[in-house]
Structure 1
Amino acid sequence: MLEEEFGKLLLRVQQRNCEEQTLEVKAANKGCPERLYDTFSAFANQNEGGMLLFGLDEKQGFAKVGVYDAQDLQKKLMEVGESMTPVVRPVLSVYVEGAMLFVAAEIPPLDLAERPCFKTARGRLKGSFIRVGDADKPMTEYEVYSYEAYRKRSRDDLRPVEGISLSALDPVQLEQYLLKRKLDRPNFASVPTEQLYELTGLQKEGQFTLTAVLLFGLYPQAYFPQLSIIASRVPGTEMGEVDETGQRFLDSKRIEGSLVEMLEGAVSFLRSNMRMAVRIDPKTGKRQDMPEYPLDALREAVLNALVHRDYSTHTENMPIQLIMFYDRVEIRNPGGLYGRLTVDQLGKIQPDTRNPAVITAMEALGQTENRYSGIPRIRRAMAEAGLPEPVFRDDRWEFSVCLYNKEAAEQPPERKPALSAEKLPLDDRGLLNFCRTPRTRKEIVRFLGIASGQYATRRYLEPLVKSGMILMTLPDRPKSPKQTYQTNPDIR
């Protein structure tokens, strides 16, 4: 790091008066901090890496205190890196200001195939950490597993299911499927049935696999009760709200069966619970029923949840959730995006595939194209219907898609802010109501519940501030540590 950059970094930390997702501050004026491996691990395990900055004291409002001995501190930081698996090589910089010395340790991100990075002496389960806001938190067993599953290319869709015999499968559906595979690949025609089971992922080592149970089981939930869809329609915009009669759910259903049956059942639930708008064609005078959401977008979202969810033993007790709110539909499936794929890359690049046997079988059954066109189709269908862009969210333990309706795109007149802006940002996280009382940036990040404070403020707070819907209480000092944010009083 250049000296000029180092000086600006110190000033920025003091102005913001906080640590960040990629920045940890340590005093180190009385010696090397005893526990640094958790931050080394957390920074190495996130895509952006991170930096430890030594010489500022958080307890004194990030005052400059310098470090005790820059040479010895750098030596100890290298020793911490050597104690990690894989070994972490921090990039060290020293900055001089008057009689004080400051040290920065930049922790590079590990390649996904090498994660998780952990304290060797504590082991992978107890020594792996993840960054959450400005804190280092121990990884859950599932978070550790998700990295290992990618590194080892684990195939949970091919795991054998004990106690399953041919009598537990639908013979007609199974025979039709094998016939289709033979038609697709003529060389399969002479292959014995038992071998064909192995080649298509329906059996492994003589036992039927999870793929076979999910696709052709007479009742898969007899063996995996929670591999289902919990579908609900609620009266408000948040779970727990009730209607005028005190009901929390206007409709609720557990959707079970094979993957194809669950797909059909979920689409049927959505169709029956959707509101319909009536439109008169000005040219023909004929009535047209306009669905609340485009059905093909809903179908693709449900299909993606079914074929891309995590089917490991860690998540087999977690059903897919389908929730219809007043202003949106949310579909949440266990397991975040697989491999190197990020939300920004959805529909733009060919992703790693978590359940290739399931997806290949669904393609053969005509349920999916397996051409990575699902996300583009969702986006296009929503745009063609004049609805907001779909919102995709990813955590390592859950992925969700949120489709907003016209209630969200066009707020009722009594709820519209009395501002002149033509296009106002959505407030889908309820910040306007939260900020009726002045709030600090830290309070807002905590309320949003998003690990990355920078992303949270950029995605949700800053658009509202720019539109004038939320005001800074110290507008002439936007970076003041005493800055708070309050909802524009003109908004009712």
Structure 2
Amino acid sequence: MTIEEFEIILNRIQQQKTETQTLEVKSAADGCPKKLFDTLSSFSNQDDGGVIVFGVDENQNFREVGVYDPQDLQKQVNNQCLQMEPVVRPLFTVTEKDGKSFVAAEIPAVDLTERPCYYKGVGRIKGSYIRSGDSDEHMTEYEIYSYEAFRKKYQDDIRVVERATMQTVDEKKLYDYIGKLKEGKPNLASLSDETVSELMSVTRNGSLTLSTVMLFSPYPQAFFPGFGIIASVVPGTEMGDTGEQGERFTDNQRIEGNIPQMLEEALQFVRRNMHHRTIIDPYTGKRADRTDYPLTAVREAVLNALVHRDYSMHTEAMPIQLLLFEDRMEIRNPGGIYGRIQVDQLGKVQPDTRNPVLAMALEVLDITENRYSGIPTIRREMERCGLPQPEFTDARGSFAVCFRKRDENDGKRDNRRKSDEEDLQSSLLLYCRTPRTKKEIGAFLGLSSTTYAIQRYVMPLVEQGKIRMSMPDKPKSPKQLFYTEI
């Protein structure tokens, strides 16, 4: 950074009196801080890196105390950076203010393939940190494993399930799948089913893989109890809220089975617990069902969770969560975003795939397209329904998508429309106590199109038995009269 940029940071510290996700302050008035390893690790392990500012004392309300010796400080900091794995290469900037010296050390992000960066003195497990707000926190073993899994390209979707045998899967569906694998592939079709199974990771050395079990076993949870979905309806806006009778959930279901079955049951759960309204378009007269959330978007979100969740041994006790609150729905799955992609790039760039064999198998089974169209579809469906855009969150080994309901003002407008509609119907019923022609009704409603007036306003009341036709066997007759029975 330039000296000018450093001075802006110093001024901002005095204004905000706080550290941040990418900013740490250290006093260094009496010497170099002895242990910078935690911060060096956490800054190196986040994509934006971070800056350590020396010469500001947090314990004195962020008072600018200056550093003891800028040159020696840089040397001592660099010595600590050399004790990291991989070695950290800081970029120093020095400035003076009010006769005091200040030093900034920019800590660059370590490449994803080299993470986690850790202090060699205590080892990878104890020496790896992650930044959370303004603090440095120990990485969990799972977070460390996640980096290793990407670096070494572990494929947990094809790890062998030791206890699984052909008797524990639906053999007919499995062999139908192998047949589909051969379709349009002459070279593959010429091979035996056993050879195709090995090549396409249905089996490994004759043993069934996790993908095969998750797709074709009637009950994969016999092997992996946590690889299911916990679906809950919360009578409030936060977990822990209770209903009028003290109930914590108004519906609560453990969804199990193979992936196609869990997908369908999850959709049934959402359908059962969503509000359904019938809306009549005032211009076209067409009826449409409106739900809290578009089911197409819900399907894509649940499917994404089932396909892209982490299936490693570290998450075997972690089910997907499907939570319906009063104001939103959340779908949370174990395993953060995989690879280099970031949240703001979702649906815009091609991502790394955590479970490529599983994703390909679902494509062959016509359950998913496997063309990275899921998130664009979710966004498009939410927009089409006039709902807020989905919110995606990647946080410490988990990923979540949040769908929010319509703004309360939308509901008030809907209620006003409903009230206006009811008033109009009452007036029309009163008007038709005297039999009326189509033309008379159109004029009464102020509509030039009598066809639209009848279809939009009168026929629904005819279907409800509130208005009758003088010639019910000739509904299109120009002599037709409409009347209300008194």
Q: Which band: TM-score by shorter chain?
A: 0.7 to 0.9
**Greater C-alpha radius of gyration:** 2
CA shift, 1:304, in A, is: 0.3
CA shift, 1:6, in A, is: 2.2
- Higher relative CO (Cα under 8 Å, sequence separation at least 6) belongs to 1
Residue 195 of structure 1 is matched in structure 2 by 195
CA shift, 1:245, in A, is: 2.8
CA shift, 1:410, in A, is: 3.4
Q: Residues 163 and 223 of structure 2 are in contact (CA less than 8 Å); yes or no, is this contact kept in structure 1?
A: no
Residue 324 of structure 1 is matched in structure 2 by 324
Residue 159 of structure 1 is matched in structure 2 by 159
Q: 1:403 to 1:180 in 2, by over 3 A?
A: same
CA shift, 1:407, in A, is: 5.3
Q: How many residues align?
A: 413
CA shift, 1:282, in A, is: 3.4
Find out whether 1:40 has 2:40 as its counterpart: yes
Find out whether 1:262 has 2:262 as its counterpart: yes
Written as runs of structure 1 = structure 2, the 5 A alignment for 1:303-452 is: 303-406=303-406, 410=410
Written as runs of structure 1 = structure 2, the 5 A alignment for 1:462-481 is: none
Residue 112 of structure 2 is matched in structure 1 by 112
CA shift, 1:222, in A, is: 0.6
Q: Residues 328 and 408 of structure 1 are in contact (CA less than 8 Å); yes or no, is this contact kept in structure 2?
A: no
Q: Per the alignment, in what secondary structure is the counterpart of residue 121 of structure 1? A: coil
Alpha-carbon distance between aligned partners in 1 of 2:46 and 2:385, rounded to the nearest angstrom: 37
Q: 1:255 to 1:27 in 2, by over 3 A?
A: same
Name stretches of at least 5 consecutive residues in structure 2 with no aligned partner: 414-486
Q: 1:259 to 1:317 in 2, by over 3 A?
A: same
Q: Residues 23 and 53 of structure 2 are in contact (CA less than 8 Å); yes or no, is this contact kept in structure 1?
A: yes
Alpha-carbon distance between aligned partners in 2 of 1:59 and 1:239, rounded to the nearest angstrom: 36
Aligned residue type for 1:17:
K
Aligned residue type for 1:83:
Q
Q: Residues 327 and 407 of structure 1 are in contact (CA less than 8 Å); yes or no, is this contact kept in structure 2?
A: no
Aligned residue type for 2:216:
F
CA shift, 1:252, in A, is: 1.2
Residue 422 of structure 1 is matched in structure 2 by none
CA shift, 1:398, in A, is: 0.8
Residue 183 of structure 2 is matched in structure 1 by 183
CA shift, 1:264, in A, is: 0.8
Q: Residues 236 and 326 of structure 1 are in contact (CA less than 8 Å); yes or no, is this contact kept in structure 2?
A: yes
What's the Cα RMSD here?
A: 1.5
Q: 1:83 to 1:284 in 2, by over 3 A?
A: closer
Alpha-carbon distance between aligned partners in 2 of 1:114 and 1:321, rounded to the nearest angstrom: 31
Residue 73 of structure 1 is matched in structure 2 by 73
Name stretches of at least 5 consecutive residues in structure 1 with no aligned partner: 414-492
Q: Per the alignment, in what secondary structure is the counterpart of residue 48 of structure 1? A: coil
Q: 1:40 to 1:286 in 2, by over 3 A?
A: closer
Alpha-carbon distance between aligned partners in 2 of 1:97 and 1:406, rounded to the nearest angstrom: 52
Written as runs of structure 1 = structure 2, the 5 A alignment for 1:24-39 is: 24-39=24-39
Q: Residues 327 and 408 of structure 1 are in contact (CA less than 8 Å); yes or no, is this contact kept in structure 2?
A: no
Alpha-carbon distance between aligned partners in 1 of 2:253 and 2:144, rounded to the nearest angstrom: 33
Q: 1:15 to 1:190 in 2, by over 3 A?
A: same
Alpha-carbon distance between aligned partners in 2 of 1:301 and 1:256, rounded to the nearest angstrom: 17
Alpha-carbon distance between aligned partners in 1 of 2:88 and 2:278, rounded to the nearest angstrom: 62
Alpha-carbon distance between aligned partners in 2 of 1:397 and 1:87, rounded to the nearest angstrom: 25
Tell me the alpha carbon deviations over residues 40-64 of structure 1, each in whole angstroms, 9 at most, x when there is no partner.
1110101110111111111112212
Tell me the alpha carbon deviations over residues 129-162 of structure 1, each in whole angstroms, 9 at most, x when there is no partner.
1111111111111111111111111111011111
Q: Residues 146 and 396 of structure 1 are in contact (CA less than 8 Å); yes or no, is this contact kept in structure 2?
A: no
Alpha-carbon distance between aligned partners in 2 of 1:301 and 1:81, rounded to the nearest angstrom: 42
Percent identical across equivalent pairs? 55
Residue 103 of structure 2 is matched in structure 1 by 103
Q: Per the alignment, in what secondary structure is the counterpart of residue 315 of structure 2? A: coil
Tell me the alpha carbon deviations over residues 84-126 of structure 1, each in whole angstroms, 9 at most, x when there is no partner.
1001010012212354221111101111111110001211111
Alpha-carbon distance between aligned partners in 2 of 1:156 and 1:47, rounded to the nearest angstrom: 25
Alpha-carbon distance between aligned partners in 2 of 1:360 and 1:184, rounded to the nearest angstrom: 15
Q: Residues 157 and 357 of structure 1 are in contact (CA less than 8 Å); yes or no, is this contact kept in structure 2?
A: yes
Residue 17 of structure 1 is matched in structure 2 by 17
Q: Residues 383 and 389 of structure 2 are in contact (CA less than 8 Å); yes or no, is this contact kept in structure 1?
A: yes
Q: Residues 266 and 302 of structure 1 are in contact (CA less than 8 Å); yes or no, is this contact kept in structure 2?
A: yes
Alpha-carbon distance between aligned partners in 1 of 2:45 and 2:408, rounded to the nearest angstrom: 36
